[in-house]
Amino acid sequence: MNHQSAHQHDRDDHLMNGQESAVPLRLGTRRSALAMAQSGMVAREVTRVTGRPVELVEITTYGDTSREALAQIGGTGVFVSALRDALLEGRIDLAVHSLKDLPTAAPEGLLLAAVPEREDARDALVARDGLALDELVEKLAGHPARIGTGSPRRMAQLNAWASARGAALETVPIRGNVDTRIGYVAAGELDAVVLATAGLNRLGRSTEITQHLDPELMVPAPGQGALAIECVDAALAAALGALDHAPTRAAVVAERALLAALEAGCSAPVAALATWVSPKELQLEGVVGTVDGATLLRMTANGPLVLDETAERQATALGHALAARLLEAGAANLMGERA
**In the complex, least distance from residue 269 CB atom to ligand PBG, rounded to whole angstroms:** 14
Report how far residue 139's alpha carbon sits from residue 142's, in angstroms, rounded to the nearest whole number. Answer: 9
Binding mask 212-231 vs ligand PBG (x if CB under 6 A, - otherwise)?
------------xx------
207 Cβ contact list (under 8 Å, min separation 6): none
Which of these, 96, 68, 72, lies nearest to 175 by C-alpha position?
Answer: 68
H or E segment to which residue 25 belongs: strand 25-29
How many CA atoms within 13 Å lie on the side-chain side of 16? 5
Site size toward ligand PBG (CB under 6 A) is: 9
**In the complex, least distance from residue 33 CB atom to ligand PBG, rounded to whole angstroms:** 11
**What's the CA angle centered on 38, arms 35 and 44, to 5 degrees?**
135
Stretch of residues binding ligand PBG (CB under 6 A), selected from 1-9, 127-135, 193-201, 281-289: 193-201
- The single residue among 77, 103, 199, 289 that binds ligand PBG, judged by CB under 6 A, is 199
Report how far residue 339's alpha carbon sits from residue 329's, in angstroms, rounded to the nearest whole number. Answer: 21
Regarding 61 and contact with ligand PBG (CB under 6 A), the answer is no
Regarding 102 and contact with ligand PBG (CB under 6 A), the answer is no
Q: Which is nearer to ligand PBG, 148 or 289 (CB)?
A: 148
Q: Which is nearer to ligand PBG, 179 or 328 (CB)?
A: 179
**In the complex, least distance from residue 16 CB atom to ligand PBG, rounded to whole angstroms:** 40
Report how far residue 212's alpha carbon sits from residue 142's, in angstroms, rounded to the nearest whole number. Answer: 23
Give the pairing of strands 270-278 and 227-231: unpaired
**In the complex, least distance from residue 273 CB atom to ligand PBG, rounded to whole angstroms:** 12
**In the complex, least distance from residue 272 CB atom to ligand PBG, rounded to whole angstroms:** 13
**In the complex, least distance from residue 221 CB atom to ligand PBG, rounded to whole angstroms:** 7
Report how far residue 182's alpha carbon sits from residue 193's, in angstroms, rounded to the nearest whole number. Answer: 7
Report how far residue 41's alpha carbon sits from residue 119's, in angstroms, rounded to the nearest whole number. Answer: 13
Regarding 195 and contact with ligand PBG (CB under 6 A), the answer is yes
Stretch of residues binding ligand PBG (CB under 6 A), selected from 82-90, 196-204, 206-214, 276-284: 196-204
Q: Which is nearer to ligand PBG, 111 or 198 (CB)?
A: 198
Site for ligand PBG in 71-100 (CB under 6 A): 98, 100
Regarding 198 and contact with ligand PBG (CB under 6 A), the answer is yes
Regarding 116 and contact with ligand PBG (CB under 6 A), the answer is no
Report how far residue 59's alpha carbon sits from residue 124's, in angstroms, rounded to the nearest whole number. Answer: 28
Regarding 42 and contact with ligand PBG (CB under 6 A), the answer is no
Q: Which is nearer to ligand PBG, 101 or 285 (CB)?
A: 101
Regarding 103 and contact with ligand PBG (CB under 6 A), the answer is no
61 Cβ contact list (under 8 Å, min separation 6): 30, 78, 79, 80, 81, 82, 83
Whether 101 sits among the annotated catalytic residues: the reply is yes
- The single residue among 196, 229, 254, 262 that binds ligand PBG, judged by CB under 6 A, is 196
**In the complex, least distance from residue 170 CB atom to ligand PBG, rounded to whole angstroms:** 20
Q: Which is nearer to ligand PBG, 30 or 146 (CB)?
A: 30
Report how far residue 79's alpha carbon sits from residue 182's, in angstroms, rounded to the nearest whole number. Answer: 21
How many CA atoms within 13 Å lie on the side-chain side of 283? 8
**Given the residues 93, 101, 120, 191, the one annotated as active site:** 101
CA distances (Å), origin 210, targets 127, 177, 207, 295: 6, 19, 8, 27
Q: How many Cβ atoms sit within 10 Å of the Cβ of residue 311?
A: 18
- Could you give the residue numbers annotated as active site? 101
Binding residues vs ligand PBG (CB under 6 A): 98, 100-101, 195-196, 198-199, 224-225
